[in-house]
Amino acid sequence: MSDATATAVAESPQHGGATPPAKGGRWRGDLGESITRNLGLLGVLALLIIIGAVTQPDLYGDSSWVWSNVLSILQLASVVGVVTVGMTFVIIGGGIDLSAGAIVALAGVWATTVATQSYGAAGMIFTAIIVGTIVGLVNGVLISYGRLVPFIATLAMLVAARGLAAQISGKQTQVSANTFINGIAANKFLGIPILVYIFAGVVIVGWVLLNRTTFGRRTVAVGGNPEAARLAGINVKWHSLLLYALSGLCCGIAAIMLTAQANSAQAAMGNLYELDAIAAAIIGGTLLSGGRGTIIGSVLGVIIFATITNLFAINGLPVEIQNMVKGGIIVAAVLIQQFRFKSVTQFFARNKVTTT
Amino acid sequence: MTQQARDLSRRRLMFGGAALGAGALLTACTSNDASAPEGQTKVADASAAAPGKPVTIGFSAPAADHGWLAAITTNAKAQAGLYSDVTFKTVEAGADAPAQLAALRTLIAQKPDVIVLLPHDGKELNAFGLEAMKAGIPVVNLDRAFPDALAYRLQIKGDNYGMGVSAGKYIGEQMKAKNIANPIIGEIPGIDSLELTSERSAGFKAELATFGFSVARRIPAEFTADTGRVAASQLLQALPKIDAVWNHDDDQGIGVLAAITQANRSEFIMVGGAGSKAAIDAIAADNSVLKATVTYSPSMASSAITLARLIGQGKGMSDLVELQVPKEITLTSETITKENASTYAKLGF
């Protein structure tokens, strides 16, 4: 590698070197920086699209099909995407939420019970969001004030929430008869499904919350160094509690989206969504130990997973291999990040000294 | 049965078979004229249903996250409730085979007369069947067969291969009727690692082959509406034009139909599987792509309880000539269409 390239890379904002550390955390960047930092992920996405085009030239040659496929991928990503936004906050704040998928199921099943359905769409949406948030709050209380390890508390909630969901639904698939709810998935606005707007809305709110508010700065601070955050005057316990409630809230929104898509809810819905969300966040560069992460990165992670699923389906390849590929991508992403944030930083830092 | 009687019956059978080959008239003569030895024929009596020796039936099925499995447990419980001489003890099977095994061991400790069990996977619980049978507790396997014949007293199951055949036959005939020479056929099976899924797909493939057709794309789901929706949306994306789809399971079909509506596609016909109430209603209403479903009825759970009771009491099935309940019963897979939907409505779950 030439010296010039090395300098260019070292001065790029990839590892925060060129961006002045913002108040409350050096990873509080703007949209442009998020995109630059996620160039690798965009590269992977581009590669997947090229693979798709090469393997299915007929389909990719039809522009109307390509557009419908893009929407299909976005719809596929939307529900997990919303869960992932909440999960990203929890992980940046130094926690983890293993109960996310179970909260989706519980909120969905509760929203489709006959009692709630009789109150109409507004009642169902309200119920799902309230149930999700309350379960998140319970997680938060157990972790912040009950001093349970997040892993244990949310694992317990995973089991309990699915149990409750099975109990409420009578172990049956509860069909949603509400045309407004079902229409959330079936209808489009300006040619784009409503679900995609909801997904985009949650992403934008999440991005603003993380990057442009005190709440976001505190999240990074709490996850990066809780003790320092406490000494700086942040109520760490209260803040963690809010993060779990936020995750629960996102799960509630996701539950309505999923119910709309499947026209039904049952206790098994949202199965393993928590792992998909955690994987997407990690691929997107969120540090599992907390203190660093971006919403854009997480969203790209979700979209990459959805694109892989789509690519395999279009080529008629088995799901098993697809899962193996996904596993490989998670490992590769983490390895690349470690390499990028440690070795590369040091390597280029040394090079930078010699070239300037 | 005496040796002589057995020989006689065999001879009669052979003669009957030969006569069938020779001509219908001759067959009619032989079957009408020959009088069977005593004990070889009988007319059903009602004694099987009359209260008898008290029987405790232990029951275990996987925790239902799905309408069909839920109906299995509900049916079993309801059927047991119809008999005054049956005590019904149920243990839930938990999340996987080891969990079910643990639950079944607690059941054995309660010493039931018969165990009715729907295993997570027949292969994984085969050893338990052997153990219980050895301990003198007859095991009735519901739906997911044990590979070892010593592991069960009775196996009652749906016809998975036949289900695929029925679906393939319906689709094949419809395509022929529409004069479609090379139809694009999609398949959405359930959990792909289960043997029943591969049997269904094998039957489907074989039957389609008799029409000269094949499956263009097969994307598995996991028997839930949620996963069915994902699989269907991907199938629709992969195949811009489709002529027919077989979805193995009506519960996941709720999601499959939702995905089809959302994608605004209706150029094909769809066949379901199992025979849920929602599917039968949709077929009768005839306002969606779902035109038929092939049965795999959870009523087999009710039959299993009835037969377990008879086994416990040492009785036979009153319509059969045998003194004991047979060892294997496989239901047939029927095809429900708009024409006969009303007949099947009461079996929907």
Could you give phi then psi for residue B104, rounded to 5 degrees? -70, -35
Average the pLDDT over B123-151 and give the result: 92
Laid out side by side, the sheet with B215-218 consists of B215-218, B185-188, B244-247, B269-274, B290-295, B335-337
List pLDDT tens digits, range A268-323: 899 999 999 999 999 998 988 899 999 999 999 999 999 999 999 888 888 888 88
Average the pLDDT over B257-271 and give the result: 95
Quick one: which of B188, B195, B192 has its CA closest to B157? B195
Pick A267's closest partner by Cβ from B65, B192, B231. Answer: B65
Nearest-angstrom CA–CA distance, A44 and A304: 8
Could you give phi then psi for residue A294, rounded to 5 degrees? -135, 150
Could you give phi then psi for residue B339, rounded to 5 degrees? -65, -40
* pLDDT level of residue A330 (50, 70, 90 thresholds): confident
CA distance B239 to chain A (A): 8
* pLDDT level of residue A28 (50, 70, 90 thresholds): very low
- Asked if residue B338 lies in contact with residue B290, where contact means CB atoms within 8 angstroms, the answer is no
With b meaning 16 or more CB within 10 Å and e meaning fewer, what string describes A196-212? bebbeebbeebbebbbe
Residue B82, pLDDT above cutoff 90: yes
Residue A3, pLDDT above cutoff 50: no
List pLDDT tens digits, range A227-267: 999 999 999 999 999 999 999 999 999 999 999 999 999 89
User: Would you state the pLDDT for residue A43?
Assistant: 87
Rounded to 5°, the CA angle B204-B207-B209 comes to 105
Determine what percent of chain B is predicted with pLDDT higher than 90.
Answer: 65
Nearest-angstrom CA–CA distance, A217 and A343: 27
Residue B6, pLDDT above cutoff 90: no
* pLDDT level of residue B27 (50, 70, 90 thresholds): very low
Average the pLDDT over A53-72 and give the result: 90
Nearest-angstrom CA–CA distance, B59 and B105: 12
User: Would you state the pLDDT for residue B249?
Assistant: 95
* pLDDT level of residue A13 (50, 70, 90 thresholds): very low
Determine whether the interchain pair A264/B234 forms a contact, defined as Cβ–Cβ distance below 8 Å. Answer: no
Quick one: which of B167, B189, B162 has its CA closest to B252? B189
Measured CA distances, A228 to A221, B48, B317 (Å): 8, 78, 77
CA atoms within 13 A on the CB side of B41: 6
Domains of chain B listed by start with CATH number = 55-158+299-315 (3.40.50.2300), 160-295 (3.40.50.2300)
Nearest-angstrom CA–CA distance, B264 and B117: 42
Mean pLDDT over each residue of chain B, to the nearest integer: 88
User: Would you state the pLDDT for residue A351?
Assistant: 59
* pLDDT level of residue A35 (50, 70, 90 thresholds): low
List pLDDT tens digits, range B34-59: 577 777 777 777 777 888 999 999 99
> B259 in contact with A at a CB cutoff of 8 Å?
yes
Residue B83, pLDDT above cutoff 70: yes
- Predicted ipTM > 0.85: no
Of B216 and A326, which is predicted with more confidence? B216
A-B C-beta contacts closer than 8 Å: 106
Rounded to 5°, the CA angle B195-B201-B203 comes to 105
Cβ partners under 8 Å of residue B159, min gap 6: B296, B330, B331, B332, B333
List pLDDT tens digits, range A93-130: 999 999 999 999 999 999 999 888 888 999 999 999 99
Average the pLDDT over B151-176 and give the result: 96
> B254 in contact with A at a CB cutoff of 8 Å?
yes
Residue A40, pLDDT above cutoff 60: yes
Q: Report the chain A residue with the minimal C-alpha distance to residue B225.
A: A262
- Tell me which H or E stretch contains B217: strand B215-218
What is the residue extent of each domain of chain A? 3-8+27-347
Partners of B262 on chain A (C-beta within 8 Å) are: 185-186, 193, 261
User: Phi/psi zone of residue B332: left (φ > 0), alpha (ψ -120 to 50 degrees), beta?
Assistant: beta
* pLDDT level of residue B21 (50, 70, 90 thresholds): very low
Measured CA distances, B292 to A193, B99, B159, B166, B247 (Å): 30, 37, 17, 10, 11
List pLDDT tens digits, range A180-222: 999 999 888 998 999 999 999 999 999 999 999 999 999 999 9
Residue B242, pLDDT above cutoff 50: yes
Partners of A258 on chain B (C-beta within 8 Å) are: 226
User: Would you state the pLDDT for residue A7?
Assistant: 38
Nearest-angstrom CA–CA distance, B233 and B238: 9
CATH of domain A3-8+27-347: 1.10.3470
> B187 in contact with A at a CB cutoff of 8 Å?
no
Most confident of A91-100, A332-341, B21-30: A91-100
User: Would you state the pLDDT for residue A38?
Assistant: 77
Residue A23 carries which side chain, given as an amino acid letter? Answer: K
Determine whether the interchain pair A65/B192 forms a contact, defined as Cβ–Cβ distance below 8 Å. Answer: no
Residue B128, both tokens: 């338990």
- Tell me which H or E stretch contains A327: helix A319-338
- Asked if residue A43 lies in contact with residue A161, where contact means CB atoms within 8 angstroms, the answer is no
List pLDDT tens digits, range B152-163: 999 999 999 999
- Asked if residue A123 lies in contact with residue A116, where contact means CB atoms within 8 angstroms, the answer is yes
User: Phi/psi zone of residue A291: left (φ > 0), alpha (ψ -120 to 50 degrees), beta?
Assistant: left
